[in-house]
Amino acid sequence: MANYQALFLDIDGTILQPDDTMQDSTKEAVKQMKEQGLEVFLATGRPLHEIADIGEVLKIDSFIGYNGALAIYNGQDIVKSPMSPDLVDLYIKVAHEKGNELILYTSSHNLLSHPENEMTKLFCKKFHLRSNRQYTEDQHANILGITVINLKEADIPLYESFPDIHLSQVNIEGFRHAYDVISDKVNKGMAIGEILNRLNIETKNAIAFGDGMNDKEMLSVVGVGFAMGNAHEKLFAYAKHRTTSVTDSGIYNGLKSLGLIKE
């Protein structure tokens, strides 16, 4: 059996079901991995100040947030890579011209281009974004992540015109109009590489589970990458394995297939 030492788990669509609940099998799988000595990380596009409750339920205190812009291991920052202020300024301009809405994430707050917008309110409710404020230009150097909402596919190239940037569609029903902004140089995969290097863990001994296109770098960089059964159809090309869906014990079954789950 391989000497697995680290496990990286996406949240929405991987840990959390569409109704925002977590299966008991997922809790049991994480518990067993921790008991076996694996370092377990939550790896999400969400801001870290909004996922403490999930970490508490799973007893996880190491995180990758903002799609890789910030990584924390046992309270210590391993990665911190804010977005370019020039990118932020460009996005504010394009969003205003095209009628899009922006959610911009700092280490402590979510900054909204138009807090009163109904689609923005729905997005914040769905993803439990509570620490919300109006975006102001003086914050443009503090942005760790961005989600563009109410975006038409035809307008994606306007946002991808900034160097080394691509958009990743949110893989949640009802929110396909939302896209995370992903840097080719700052993403979940890059953060995992930094973490594994710091912990002296070989990539072949790391496992990851994800469902969205913002997980492609993460699944590609680890030794064993699992795409959830409910994953975005394009994600399967980046995963070595396919497991069952988030509503059908996907994490549990994936780890069981590796011989790691004790029943």
CATH, domain 85-183, list 3.40.190.10, 3.30.1240.10, 3.30.1370.60, 3.40.640.10: 3.30.1240.10
- Nearest Cα neighbor of 118 from 137, 104, 99 is 99
Q: Do the beta carbons of residue 181 and residue 197 sit within 8 Å?
A: no
CATH architecture entry for 6-81+186-257: 3-Layer(aba) Sandwich (3.40)
Predicted model pTM = 0.86
- CATH 3.30.1240.10 region(s) of the chain? 85-183
- CATH 3.40.50.1000 region(s) of the chain? 6-81+186-257
pLDDT of the residue at 74: 87
- Nearest Cα neighbor of 123 from 96, 98, 142, 105 is 105
Instruction: Report CA Rg, the chain.
Output: 18
- Nearest Cα neighbor of 92 from 143, 168, 153, 164 is 143
pLDDT of the residue at 196: 97
Could you read off the pLDDT of 217-254 as tens digits, one per residue? 999 999 999 999 999 999 999 999 999 999 999 999 99
Which pLDDT band holds residue 1 (cuts at 50, 70, 90)?
low
Could you read off the pLDDT of 146-194 as tens digits, one per residue? 999 999 999 999 999 999 999 999 988 889 999 999 988 899 999 999 9
Q: In 133-182, where does DSSP find H-type helix?
A: 156-159
How buried is 254 (Cβ within 10 angstroms: 0-12 exposed, 13-18 middle, 19+ buried)?
Answer: buried
